[in-house]
């Protein structure tokens, strides 16, 4: 049945330490925030949100509790439950995924890491700077990019993966859309998979990911990289992306991937205008209603250049840090970034200032 009612947690505030609760609030996904209100979004027959109403949690439960079933009860439940660890790493605090592009043509830093030595050194530097996860990508998916043959992707990826596997004190994620690359990466010791097509590009990917037993990031993209920026349209971008990810979560579970191995990502910049990206950023907390961790990849992307006027992607560090903090302020458990050190410092200060506690 098509979903017509959505709950976006709002009135977000830092979760208190220890057993003390926020009066009138509930913990958001077992993390660092509590939500004290819900935006109730109703989708009309035209496909657009036809009603948006913010109710405090007290109002919501008082009004609705008496009924047999709470509206969107599945989402309400999903918002509160703590998230499972990802490959042993707790998501009770935000995690940084550092980008290692092994491609000659990535939009922001392509061609820099063409030797295995340079890529390994860069990956280890990101860990030193505070990355919890490294995301190795050997196929660019920037707008307009061409696909890479599987042999070439493996040739770029495996030597680096094998060399950092035992050296890097971080999880290793592999950013790929291909089943064969997923299998080989799992054999070579990868800890998680990241597919910008949410396991739809390669018909064998669902099975390969399920067999690997690894956690998987399911990202939303409209169309493929070659054409995705040609006039993308949605009825309501936030609700359409939610529905898509909900369907992909269901497809993964049907294929044997457990719920606690899934992570979702709205796919900033993948078949989206500036307005679409900003609607997703502003509504990001909605995705917690899927009951799995949320990943945000906004680093150095075009909407940041549009807002700041910084044309060169490599110089969009401050804007990217701002975007990462905005994501974490909505409970995103993982931020995928190029500039690990700047993000780590900003995040540590932001968390300490928000919660009144410095992490050891």
336 binds ligand HH2, rule: CB under 6 A: yes
Q: Which residue is nearest to ligand HH2 (CB)?
A: 297
Task: Name the nearest CA neighbour of 72 among 42, 45, 47.
Answer: 42
> How far is it, in rounded angstroms, from Cα 255 to Cα 216?
13
Find the shortest distance in angstroms from Cβ 341 to ligand HH2.
17
Can you tell me which of 142, 184, 201, 248 binds ligand HH2, judged by CB under 6 A? 142
Candidates 151-159, 242-250, 262-270, 351-359; binding stretch for ligand HH2 (CB under 6 A): 262-270
Find the shortest distance in angstroms from Cβ 107 to ligand HH2.
4
Contact pattern for ligand HH2 over residues 88 through 107, marking x by CB under 6 A: -----------x-x-x--xx
Candidates 1-9, 71-79, 135-143, 279-287; binding stretch for ligand HH2 (CB under 6 A): 135-143
108 binds ligand HH2, rule: CB under 6 A: yes
DSSP strand pairing (334-337 vs 295-296): parallel
Find the shortest distance in angstroms from Cβ 220 to ligand HH2.
9
Indicate the residue among 27 and 137 with the shorter CB distance to ligand HH2.
137
34 binds ligand HH2, rule: CB under 6 A: no
2 carries an active-site annotation: no
Partnered with residue 6 across adjacent β-strands are: 41
Candidates 18-26, 51-59, 240-248, 265-273; binding stretch for ligand HH2 (CB under 6 A): 265-273
Indicate the residue among 94 and 137 with the shorter CB distance to ligand HH2.
137
CA distances in angstroms from 69 to 7, 55, 74, 100, 185, listed in the order given: 15, 18, 10, 46, 44
Question: Is 50 in a helix, a strand, or coil?
Answer: strand
For tokens 């890491």, what's the residue? 113
Site for ligand HH2 in 208-247 (CB under 6 A): 217, 219
- DSSP symbols for 134-200: EEEE-S--STTPPP--HHHHHHHHHHHHHHHHTT-SSEEEEE-S-HHHHHHHHHTT--EEEETTTT-
343 binds ligand HH2, rule: CB under 6 A: no
Residue 161, token pair as written in the block: 């993966």
38 binds ligand HH2, rule: CB under 6 A: no
339 binds ligand HH2, rule: CB under 6 A: no
> How far is it, in rounded angstroms, from Cα 326 to Cα 345?
15
Partnered with residue 39 across adjacent β-strands are: 8, 54
**Main-chain dihedrals φ then ψ at residue 189, nearest 5 degrees:** 100, 15
Can you tell me which of 12, 268, 292, 304 binds ligand HH2, judged by CB under 6 A? 268
Q: How many CB atoms lie within 10 A of CB 115?
A: 10
Indicate the residue among 100 and 239 with the shorter CB distance to ligand HH2.
100
Its sign, for the CA torsion 42, 2, 58, 353, is negative
Site for ligand HH2 in 189-208 (CB under 6 A): 194, 196
33 binds ligand HH2, rule: CB under 6 A: no
76 binds ligand HH2, rule: CB under 6 A: no
Question: Is 216 in a helix, a strand, or coil?
Answer: strand
Candidates 139-147, 198-206, 252-260, 352-360; binding stretch for ligand HH2 (CB under 6 A): 139-147
Find the shortest distance in angstroms from Cβ 66 to ligand HH2.
41
> Which residue among the candidates 142, 248, 301, 316 is catalytic per the annotation?
301
Q: Where are the beta strands (DSSP E) in the chain?
A: 5-14, 26-27, 33-43, 49-56, 95-101, 133-137, 171-175, 192-195, 216-219, 262-265, 295-296, 334-337
163 carries an active-site annotation: no
> Which residue among the candidates 83, 316, 336, 344 is catalytic per the annotation?
336
Indicate the residue among 57 and 281 with the shorter CB distance to ligand HH2.
281
Residue 259, token pair as written in the block: 């719920």
Residues that bind ligand HH2 (CB under 6 A): 99, 101, 103, 106-108, 137, 140-142, 175, 194, 196, 217, 219, 265, 267-268, 295, 297, 336
Q: Which residues are catalytic?
A: 301, 336
């Amino acid at each position: 049945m098509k979903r017509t009612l959505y709950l976006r947690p709002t009135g977000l505030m830092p979760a208190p330490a220890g057993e003390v609760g926020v009066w009138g609030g509930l913990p958001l996904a077992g993390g660092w925030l509590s939500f004290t209100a819900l935006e109730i979004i109703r989708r009309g027959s035209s496909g657009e949100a036809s009603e948006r109403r913010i109710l405090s949690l007290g109002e919501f439960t008082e009004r609705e509790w008496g009924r047999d079933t709470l509206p969107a009860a599945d989402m309400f439940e999903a918002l509160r439950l703590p998230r499972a660890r990802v490959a042993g790493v707790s998501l009770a605090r935000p995690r940084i995924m550092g980008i290692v592009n092994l491609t000659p043509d990535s939009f922001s830093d392509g061609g820099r890491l063409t030797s295995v030595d340079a890529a390994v050194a860069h990956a280890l530097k990101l860990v030193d700077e505070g990355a919890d996860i490294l995301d190795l990508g050997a196929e660019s998916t920037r707008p307009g990019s061409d696909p890479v043959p599987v042999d070439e992707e493996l040739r770029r990826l495996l030597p680096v993966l094998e060399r950092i596997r035992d050296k890097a004190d971080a999880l290793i994620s592999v950013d790929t859309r291909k089943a064969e690359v997923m299998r080989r990466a799992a054999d070579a010791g990868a800890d998680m998979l990241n597919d910008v097509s949410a396991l739809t590009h390669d018909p064998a990917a669902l099975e390969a990911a399920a067999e690997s037993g690894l956690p998987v990031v399911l990202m939303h993209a409209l169309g493929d990289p070659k054409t995705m920026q040609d006039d993308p349209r949605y009825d309501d971008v936030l609700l359409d992306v939610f529905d898509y990810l909900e369907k992909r979560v269901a497809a993964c579970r049907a294929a044997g991937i457990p719920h606690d191995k899934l992570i979702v990502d709205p796919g900033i910049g993948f078949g989206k205008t500036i307005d679409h990206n900003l609607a997703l950023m502003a509504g990001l907390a909605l995705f917690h209603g899927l009951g799995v961790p949320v990943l945000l990849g906004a680093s150095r992307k075009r909407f940041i250049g549009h807002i700041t006027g910084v044309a060169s992607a490599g110089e969009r560090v401050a804007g990217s840090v701002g975007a990462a903090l905005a994501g974490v302020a909505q409970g995103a458990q993982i931020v995928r970034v190029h500039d690990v050190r700047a993000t780590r410092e900003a995040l540590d200060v932001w968390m300490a200032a928000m919660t009144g506690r410095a992490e050891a």
